């Protein structure tokens, strides 16, 4: 009897990589030069090409976004309390704790999944020094609303832009907003250098300080200007990044096509909502969140488990809320009634698989399951 082939496992994401053959000449150069790190030639070239691609002026590369966030806070000498979102990956708030800063959680907007500017002012105290919003799923925050509040109260704004590679809003790259923006190039992101990240800076002076901080605080061979950390990206990561830039437009176009296919397939499924970024956004389709609402035959968690039974590994980004983890839940701002929108969305959200190599027939497999009410 012919063996029945099991459908392939579908993950929430898979990294987009160039062919190994294309990468070997880059590796050969590293092997020949024996320059592996500390700001080598690939590092310099990648920073320059990345600025050009993203439409920004100054970038400091990092080993990952988490160290980037920790360093961004150090660079701007942020202390006291920082207003942030509970609806994100834990690294956002952890970067505050690593600096001895108290996170103050503020609820999110039900359409954008991002900090609700209307709720920020009530959370400001004399100890507040900054706001750390997240462009969640790459959907831009209300950057103008946040800027207005920051200006009124003299606060800094550090955007966690881990999801926002290549995203453009009403006035160009979303990464030019705020005092600093931090990108992630982790394996699960739209643009990857295995691990990696970057801080987008407004001027060369700030970039210089960040460069000292990511290199133990060294300003030259014998001068240490701050208790810096080791946050440097290696030549391996920078070389891969340089090569990745060649394929990124094709990868983003494929993501766009998958996003459109999901939307067309799921348009009229009762109890499902597919949020999208504001219409003027040039999105990167980093994630495809759906909200499982009353009217759908299964609860979100039942659907999550049903998907797993079918070897489809959709993920509940971002459940649980950061404010529910043990190191945060004692904070007054983590109280249940302070974050009703974030709490509701965290109970309803499921991120569907989306990545450039995902074939149409697998997208259709996911859609069929949802159209059948998860059965
Ligand atoms: N701020 C925000 C808003 C973030 O979302 C993140 C990271 C950060 C800051 C910090 O950035 P980094 O310091 O990492 O640069 C993942 C990632 O580990 C994490 O980077 C990411 N956010 C978060 C949203 O998702 P997990 O626990 O879901 O990853 P994991 O290992 O379960 O991977 C998910 C799927 O991806 C796997 O089922 C298969 C696929 N995968 C994953 C890896 C690691 C691969 O195919 N290959 C791989 O190498 O956290």
Residue nearest (by alpha carbon) to ligand 1 atom 12: 65
Inter-CA distances, 374 with 142, 300, 307, 323, Å: 35, 10, 8, 30
Distance in Å, CA 285 to ligand 1 centroid? 16
Cβ count near 306 (within 10 Å): 17
* Cβ(290)–Cβ(274) below 8 Å: yes
Which atom of ligand 1 has the smallest separation from the CA of 88? 3
Residue nearest (by alpha carbon) to ligand 1 atom 7: 89
**CA proximity to 140, closest of 118, 160, 126:** 160
Distance in Å, CA 253 to ligand 1 centroid? 22
Of 17, 174, 182, 186, the one to substitute when testing ligand 1's pocket (max ligand atoms within 8 A of C-beta) is: 186
Inter-CA distances, 296 with 272, 310, 354, 371, Å: 7, 18, 22, 10
pTM above 0.95, yes or no: yes
Of 17, 88, 89, the one to substitute when testing ligand 1's pocket (max ligand atoms within 8 A of C-beta) is: 89
Q: What pLDDT, on a 0 to 100 scale, did the predictor assign at position 366?
A: 97
Q: What is the mean pLDDT of each run of 10 residues along the chain (375 residues)?
A: 68 97 98 98 98 98 98 98 98 98 98 97 98 98 97 98 96 95 98 98 97 98 97 98 98 98 96 92 96 97 97 98 98 97 98 98 97 83
Count of CA atoms in the C-beta half-sphere (13 A) of 62: 30
58-62 and 197-201 strand pairing = antiparallel
Q: What pLDDT, on a 0 to 100 scale, did the predictor assign at position 8?
A: 82
Maximum Cα interatomic distance, the chain, rounded to a whole number of Å: 75
Distance in Å, CA 244 to ligand 1 centroid? 18
Quickly list DSSP for 305-334: HHHHHTTEE-B-TT-S-GGGSTTTTTSGGG
Q: What pLDDT, on a 0 to 100 scale, did the predictor assign at position 278?
A: 87
**CA proximity to 88, closest of 132, 130, 125, 120:** 132
Give the pocket of ligand 1 (CB within 6 Å).
11-15, 64-66, 88-89, 91-92, 134, 160, 162-163, 184, 186-188, 197, 313, 315, 317
Buried b (16+ CB within 10 A) or exposed e, 29-66: ebeeeeeebebbebbeebbebbeeebebebbbbbbbbb
Cα separation, 20 vs 17, in Å, equals 8
Q: What pLDDT, on a 0 to 100 scale, did the predictor assign at position 3?
A: 58
């Amino acid at each position: 009897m012919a063996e029945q082939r099991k459908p392939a496992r579908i993950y929430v994401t898979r990294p987009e990589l160039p062919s190994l053959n294309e990468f070997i000449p880059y590796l050969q150069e590293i092997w020949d030069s024996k320059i592996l790190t500390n700001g080598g030639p690939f590092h310099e070239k990648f920073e320059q090409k990345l600025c050009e691609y993203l439409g920004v002026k100054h970038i400091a590369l990092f080993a990952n976004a988490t160290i980037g966030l920790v360093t961004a806070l150090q660079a701007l000498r942020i202390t006291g309390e920082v207003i942030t979102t509970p609806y994100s990956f834990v690294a956002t708030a952890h970067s505050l704790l690593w600096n001895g800063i108290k996170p103050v959680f503020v609820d999110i907007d039900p359409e954008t999944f991002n900090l609700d500017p209307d709720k920020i002012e009530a959370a400001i105290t004399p100890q507040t020094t900054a706001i750390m919003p997240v462009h969640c799923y790459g959907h831009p925050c209300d950057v103008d609303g946040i800027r207005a509040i920051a200006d009124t109260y003299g606060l800094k704004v550090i955007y966690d832009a881990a999801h926002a590679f290549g995203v453009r809003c009403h006035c160009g790259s979303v990464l030019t907003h705020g005092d600093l923006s931090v990108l992630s190039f982790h394996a699960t992101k739209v643009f990857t250098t295995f691990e990696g990240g970057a801080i987008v800076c407004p001027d060369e002076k700030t970039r210089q300080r960040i460069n000292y901080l990511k290199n133990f605080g060294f300003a030259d061979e014998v001068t240490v200007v701050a208790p810096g950390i080791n946050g440097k990206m290696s030549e391996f990561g920078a070389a891969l990044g340089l090569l990745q830039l060649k394929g990124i437009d094709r990868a983003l176009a494929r993501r766009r096509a998958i996003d459109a296919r999901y939307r067309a397939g799921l348009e009229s499924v009762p109890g499902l909502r597919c949020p999208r970024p504001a219409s003027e956004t040039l999105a990167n389709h980093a994630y495809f969140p759906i909200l499982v609402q009353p009217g759908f035959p299964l609860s979100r968690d039942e659907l999550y488990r049903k998907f797993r039974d079918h070897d489809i590994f959709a993920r509940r980004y971002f459940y649980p809320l950061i404010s529910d983890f043990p190191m945060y839940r004692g904070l007054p701002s983590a109280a249940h009634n302070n974050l009703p929108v974030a709490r509701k969305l965290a109970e309803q959200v499921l991120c569907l698989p989306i990545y450039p190599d995902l074939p149409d027939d697998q997208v259709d497999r996911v859609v069929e399951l949802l159209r059948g009410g998860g059965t």
